[in-house]
A and B are shown apart, each in its own frame.
Chain A
Amino acid sequence: MIDWIAIFSNAAQELISPTTAAYALAALGLAIHFGYTGLLNFGQAGFMALGAYGYAISTLSFGFPVWAAVLVGIGASVVFALILGIPTLRLRADYLAIVTIAAAEILRLVFTTNTFDALTGSASGLQGYKGGFADLNPIPAGTYGFSPFTYNAYDWWIRIVGWSLVVLLAVITWLIMRSPWGRVIKGIREDEDAVRALGKNVYSYKMQSLILGGVYGTLAGMIFVLPRAVVPANYQTSLTFFVYAILLLGGAATILGPVIGSMIFWVLLSFFSGFVARAVEAGWLPFMSQVQAGQLRFILVGIAIMLIVIFRPQGIFGNKKELAFVK
């Protein structure tokens, strides 16, 4: 018989998993880019890769302490945002989309190639960079929590840091979006020439937005690799699209949307994969192998997201009223 308890408790664990926090951060960054400023950044995976590699390489190859490794990652993503933004932000919106998608792929290939194997570990990636972060853990060794949320001290430490970061950046985003700065940013989304005609340096604001959302992506990339290893294959374009799916699910120009969207996405993904795998085991789906079943979960999540987008196109937290005026 199917072990429903296991399926549900695995799914519930995704609610507070570090991966969910990482995707929430990346989606919050995209909310700044796409939802509030109207920038089409299709390279969020590249920003995440910079966080992961920036942190891991500076720890492993240069022996940097945690704070310095974090700063290296942030610095790298600021430079990346400048390189992407300087030539494209004066042009039409679609140019940024093309350039970001290509640049993120270039980054991934650079991290994958054997040429820099000594630094990047090429296709097999990097591990063994968690010591510094684990040393900062104030929680005494042991196992804590209640079922299904029972973890050891390190796992709790990642979750606490990850979700604290989500809360902190969500509050910061909320603050800046209700300020005059946010008003300019939203004005640019609506019509940048009108904002320019009112004396605002649109180019500079778009750059600030690109950098800020990119830094969110970079921090997401660091949280993402704390419970696992750094593997270049994780930073494919599909990662960016999953983050977009989360954003649209939750509501593009909202603060809670990306966070709750990420939770729903990961809970659904875990639920479907648990369910399908066990259903195949139990012989409910005789036409399917285990490998095929592994892919089916993405199809089911895709269908679930399509349903939400059809029946609630503004996203879960989006404003229905806005939709009446979409051109």
Chain B
Amino acid sequence: MSSNVTPTSKPVKTTGLHVGDAAPGVRKVDPILIADGVKRTFGGLTAVDVDHVEVPRGAITALIGPNGAGKTTFFNLLTGFDKPDAGKWEFDGRSLAHVPAYRVARMGLIRTFQLTKALGLLTVMDNMKLGAKGQTGENLFRSVLPFLWRKQEDEIEAKALEILARFKLDTKKDDYAASLSGGQRKLLEMARALMSDPTLVMLDEPMAGVNPALTQSLLDHILDLKSQGMTVLFVEHDMHMVRHIADWVIVMAEGRIVAEGDPHIVMQDQAVIDAYLGAHHDADLGSTDTEHVEVLKELIDDEQ
């Protein structure tokens, strides 16, 4: 389990991110992403209903919440992969409403997917190269004239090799991505996201299915992104990881933001406990709740 992950060094936490008391929708000193009244319903079900939320720049923010809280849907809305019923949101001061997903990516907001999307029948190296921005050879007419893009291609390849080496995937560069293990694909997807030098990286459950031995190196990679000046927003169920690397935590439940704050403090918030156990947990503690009880126990153990 994740409990045998021993941090090699204590990461430097970024503090002083918010203005005023930590509450849902609290203002940030320097927000990179702001969402306002973003709402998405599927038939009768309200999957996302966020009044106001700001993501602090240059920090690692965790988005947590029970299954079905709307985290992935919120990710999809922010990145243009889904359209909200209402609301506006901006990235780096520019509105993202009605901006198609590929343009959002070009603006420097790169995401990964909960269900990994490695391009199976492309080699690991081709997966990486695809991530690079502004490629001359991606134009159909220029593509037939290799001398126009050969030099850029070499630069991209060198950069890809360097990132692959950091993720310990360089020995796999000529293999089909389909031949990688689940955890390696998570790594590849993250490595590929870095090819475009993003300003904000949004990771949907980067640790899911990754073995504990690899978890530590993934954590280091994410911390590394911060030290390179990137902002990270990630969804995660593993509370140890959240506490270990997050500078800020946003808690979602039933589509709403129910709590925000410092990772060590927010876990004790009554709203968070309610979110994980259901608001009526003292009335009826069903067997399906045992998992969540485990999570909370882990949290409380960890705090002591």
Contacts and interface: CB of A to CB of B under 8 A. Distances in A.
Interface of A: 172, 175-176, 179-184, 186-187, 189-191, 193-202, 208, 212, 321-322, 324-325, 327
A321 B126 CA distance: 17
A172 B144 contact: yes
B120 A199 contact: no
17 contacts: A175-B144, A175-B146, A179-B146, A180-B149, A184-B130, A190-B121, A193-B81, A193-B113, A194-B189, A195-B130, A196-B105, A197-B193, A198-B196, A202-B102, A212-B140, A322-B176, A325-B120
A196 B192 CA distance: 13
B119 interface: yes
B102 A201 contact: yes
Nearest to B189: A194
Contact of A179 (B111, B149, B192): B149
B104 to A, nearest CB: 8
Given A180-B135, A187-B130, A322-B176, 12 more contacts: A180-B136, A180-B149, A181-B137, A183-B129, A183-B138, A190-B121, A194-B117, A194-B189, A197-B79, A197-B110, A198-B105, A199-B102
Given A180-B129, A180-B149, A201-B102, A325 B135 contact: no
B285 interface: no
B97 interface: no
B101 interface: yes
B102 A193 contact: no
Contacts of B58: none
B144 A190 contact: no
A327 B120 CA distance: 10
Contact of A186 (B122, B133, B193): B122
A322 B113 CA distance: 24
Contacts of A187: 119, 122, 126-127, 130
B196 A184 contact: no
A212 B143 CA distance: 14
B26 to A, nearest CB: 29
B101 A196 contact: yes
Interface of B: 79, 81, 100-103, 105-106, 110-113, 117-122, 126-127, 129-131, 133, 135-140, 143-144, 146, 149, 153, 176, 178-179, 189, 192-193, 195-196
B121 A322 contact: yes
B102 A200 contact: yes
A187 B123 CA distance: 10
Question: Which one of B100, B102, B118, B127 has the greatest number of beta carbons of chain A within 10 Å?
Answer: B102
B79 A180 contact: no
Contacts of A208: 140
A200 B133 CA distance: 9
A191 B140 contact: no
A327 B117 CA distance: 14
Given A193-B81, A194-B113, A199 B144 contact: no
B126 A183 contact: yes
Contacts of B193: 197-198
Question: Which one of A187, A199, A208, A321 has the greatest number of beta carbons of chain B within 10 Å?
Answer: A199
A190 B119 contact: yes
Given A172-B144, A183-B122, A186-B122, A196 B102 contact: yes
A198 B131 contact: yes
Nearest to B117: A194
Nearest to B134: A199
Contacts of A324: 178
A199 B131 CA distance: 8
